[in-house]
Structure 1
Amino acid sequence: MIEISLRTSGQGAHAGALRIANSRLWETFGSIGLLSADPGHAPWPYTDWGRAARRSLPRADVTLPGWLVHLFRAGGGTLPSFLLPVPSSARQPDLAEEIASLREVPPARVRAELARWFPGGVPAEVRPLYADPGARIADLCAFLPRYARAALAPYETSLRTVTDDDILLRARVLATQGPDRLLGTLRGAVSRRGDVLRLRAGPPGRAAARTEVSRIVLVPLVFGRGASLLGFAPNGVTAVSYQAEGAAVLAGEGADEPARGDRLEILLGRSRAGLVRGLVAPATTSDLAATLGLAPSTVSEHLTSLVAAGVVRRRRAGVRVLYELDASGVALLRHLDNRRRVNAASYETT
């Protein structure tokens, strides 16, 4: 857990302390993190993309570096910041330029961050990186373009559209409603408590670390589910990823047409099937809207129907209203959802 103070120079958060920037490198790492987290199955709405990526990577003779996969798993889905240069908000991101900046990371910084990540000793899987940071980073810089061509190139236009639209949306909120409102809209592994931004970042079980920054750069990621990516610049600027709205673009083209053979979508329609799949864990209307790329009013309308049908139920948790699958919803997934096997305890409701 990382805690970032939103007070800069003794003042509260202000618009000048926040920027929003796109990064193709961070997006690429986010997708690798999803593949690393579960080698067999990516969660919806990444399931179709994950299945296609696992087919295309071997055909392109691309293998994820073992030390990178281990860093993701040891970090609970995030990475040490030496791999995450702070993106610039002054220009459109270029993956080649961002990759080139990785070559400039000093070996001493790599070793120092790895030592902090693994206070009990760097594990065997990561020792090649610790022993020769320059060589392994060079290998990574050669790997990333090949990975992007094999796993992301067919989706690149959609990915850019989603993140560009999300930046326009957040920038409008920042300009018209201020930084406090903007920070309150973030999704993913980011939460706010008072003047502190809390991130699920770094190895699980580690005590919360507090840091103060001069400026925060927010980085929207379509592959932003799970832990936050976090990058630091020497001038005190800190970059933080969050879940961009519209990740459902990866679920396939033709949002109004059920996928062939998808019994759940044929029965409920794509949007309602997506809601049912999205409720494998309790969620709010705004959470679902952000994940599925739907308007909150549309999500609310569908939830009302699903509640009336006894598939979904609502409950209040403090000031939040949560929706979760009822027994009928669990049964629908188990018997009709051919996209996944529904046996996990997380589908059960009490």
Structure 2
Amino acid sequence: MIEIPLRRSGYGTVRLAESRLWETYGSIGLLSTGRGLAPWPYARWDRAARRSLTRADVTVPGWLVHLHRARGGVLPSFLLVVPCPTRGDLAADLAALAAVPAARVREELEQWFPQGIPAEVRPLYADPPTRLAELCDVLPRYRRAALAPYEASLRVAAEEDILLRARILATQGPERLLGSLRGLRLSRHGDVLRLHGAGTPGRTAVADVSRLVLVPLVFGRGAPYAATAPDGTTAVAYRAEGAAVLLGETRPPGRRDTGAEPGPGDRLEILLGRSRAGVVRGLVAPTTTSDLAAALGLAPSTVSEHLAALVAAGVVRRRREGVRVLYELDGPGVALLRHMDDRRRVNAPDT
């Protein structure tokens, strides 16, 4: 838990920034903790990423996998370079990561594992510079194998989320902004803002926050990352909207799925047609028309027609959030997908 005093500095200067490094960690955490059973909307990406990583012969260090599993997705702050709001450069972040002092690495690991360093993490504890250098070599190769097909979609999702949060910040203030963030547990006790589930074990008090940086992550499910720089800049991750960009198979630019013929034995596609079935599957997580069209490889006008029919039928509902209109499955839509889609188990959408 991280504690931020509000009396002295308020929230500091609130900014929003992308971080390719943090997003990469988030995706690794999903692979590490999901163990091949990733939830919607990550399931198809999970399968494709595992195949691609095997073909590319990319292996994530075992100590990083263990750190993800040890505390439910939280990572030690020495791995989390605080993002710069004006730069989302992975190479610069990796250079800063490689320069982390060995003493800091060992100190944080001892805080994490007061009963003794686990065998899986001992290589990192014994030789931090070498292990961090190896990690900096692996991460770009991992990203090319697992995330490159989704690079443009991930960036669009992060940028759209930043625009949405910036509007909330400008019109309603920082407290309303913090209250709107998914995957971030906050509480306020007097003049102290507490970020639960983030940081090192126990309580970490930040003496003076010069800047609070909020980092949207498409892979933010179960990734409560937080870190503080020496100048007082504190960065905290939250779950971005638009994770539906990971739904469906990626297609080469220019190719469209006409949706004319249902897949063999696919009951949902036989009932609705391939395109409309894809729209229903894509709405387990709230998303916009444009995000869904990009994810499915369909024209926005086609997706709009399907959505209008599904809303009229009571299968889908829509709601406005800031400047965006979000669509998601309503109760009958969840029931339809649960009973007609043999390929996955579907839970009620997160509202």
TM range (shorter): 0.7 to 0.9
Q: Quick check: 1:123 aligned with 2:118?
A: yes
In the TM superposition, what is the alpha-carbon distance from 1:260 to its structure 2 partner? Answer: 5.8
Q: Equivalent residue of 1:305, what SS?
A: coil
Q: Relative to structure 1, is the Cα distance of residues 110 and 211 closer, same or farther in structure 2, using a 3 angstrom cutoff?
A: same
Q: Aligned partners of 1:180 and 1:225: how far apart in 2? A: 22
In the TM superposition, what is the alpha-carbon distance from 1:196 to its structure 2 partner? Answer: 2.2
Q: Relative to structure 1, is the Cα distance of residues 330 and 158 closer, same or farther in structure 2, using a 3 angstrom cutoff?
A: closer
Q: Equivalent residue of 1:99, what SS?
A: helix
Question: What are the ranges of 5 or more consecutive residues in structure 2 without an aligned counterpart?
Answer: 251-255, 293-306, 318-327
- Counterpart contact for 2:44–2:246, Cα < 8 Å: yes
Q: Which residue of 2 aligns with 1:340?
A: 344
Q: Which residue of 2 aligns with 1:18?
A: 14
Q: Which amino acid aligns with 1:305?
A: G
Q: Aligned partners of 1:230 and 1:39: how far apart in 2? A: 24
Q: Which residue of 1 aligns with 2:314?
A: 305
Q: Aligned partners of 1:255 and 1:178: how far apart in 2? A: 43
Please report the RMSD computed on the Cα atoms of aligned residues, expressed in angstroms. Answer: 3.4
Q: Which amino acid aligns with 1:339?
A: R
In the TM superposition, what is the alpha-carbon distance from 1:169 to its structure 2 partner? Answer: 1.9
Q: Aligned partners of 2:95 and 2:107: how far apart in 1? A: 21
Q: Which residue of 2 aligns with 1:315?
A: none
Q: Which residue of 2 aligns with 1:86?
A: 82
Q: Aligned partners of 1:154 and 1:65: how far apart in 2? A: 23
Q: Relative to structure 1, is the Cα distance of residues 335 and 23 closer, same or farther in structure 2, using a 3 angstrom cutoff?
A: same
Q: Aligned partners of 1:153 and 1:198: how far apart in 2? A: 32
Match of 1:155 among 126, 131, 150: 150
Match of 2:65 among 66, 69, 78: 69
Q: Relative to structure 1, is the Cα distance of residues 259 and 23 closer, same or farther in structure 2, using a 3 angstrom cutoff?
A: farther
Q: Aligned partners of 2:102 and 2:227: how far apart in 1? A: 17
In the TM superposition, what is the alpha-carbon distance from 1:334 to its structure 2 partner? Answer: 5.5
Match of 1:238 among 231, 234, 256: 234
Q: Aligned partners of 2:57 and 2:35: how far apart in 1? A: 17
Q: Which amino acid aligns with 2:58?
A: V
The 5 Å alignment of 1:186-205 reads 186-193=181-188, 196-201=193-198
- Counterpart contact for 1:4–1:211, Cα < 8 Å: yes
Q: Aligned partners of 1:55 and 1:293: how far apart in 2? A: 25
In the TM superposition, what is the alpha-carbon distance from 1:192 to its structure 2 partner? Answer: 4.2
In the TM superposition, what is the alpha-carbon distance from 1:269 to its structure 2 partner? Answer: 3.9
Q: Aligned partners of 1:31 and 1:40: how far apart in 2? A: 13
- Counterpart contact for 1:258–1:269, Cα < 8 Å: no
Cα deviation code 1:211-237 (max 9, x no counterpart): 454121101111111131111211221
Q: Identity, % of aligned pairs?
A: 57
Q: Relative to structure 1, is the Cα distance of residues 225 and 6 closer, same or farther in structure 2, using a 3 angstrom cutoff?
A: farther
Q: Which residue of 2 aligns with 1:170?
A: 165
Q: Aligned partners of 2:260 and 2:227: how far apart in 1? A: 40
Cα deviation code 1:147-203 (max 9, x no counterpart): 011111111111111111211222222122211221121112433446524332368
Q: Aligned partners of 1:255 and 1:118: how far apart in 2? A: 51
Q: Aligned partners of 1:26 and 1:239: how far apart in 2? A: 11
Q: Which residue of 2 aligns with 1:283?
A: none
Q: Aligned partners of 1:115 and 1:82: how far apart in 2? A: 13
- Counterpart contact for 1:199–1:227, Cα < 8 Å: no
How many residue pairs were aligned? Answer: 307
- Counterpart contact for 1:245–1:293, Cα < 8 Å: no
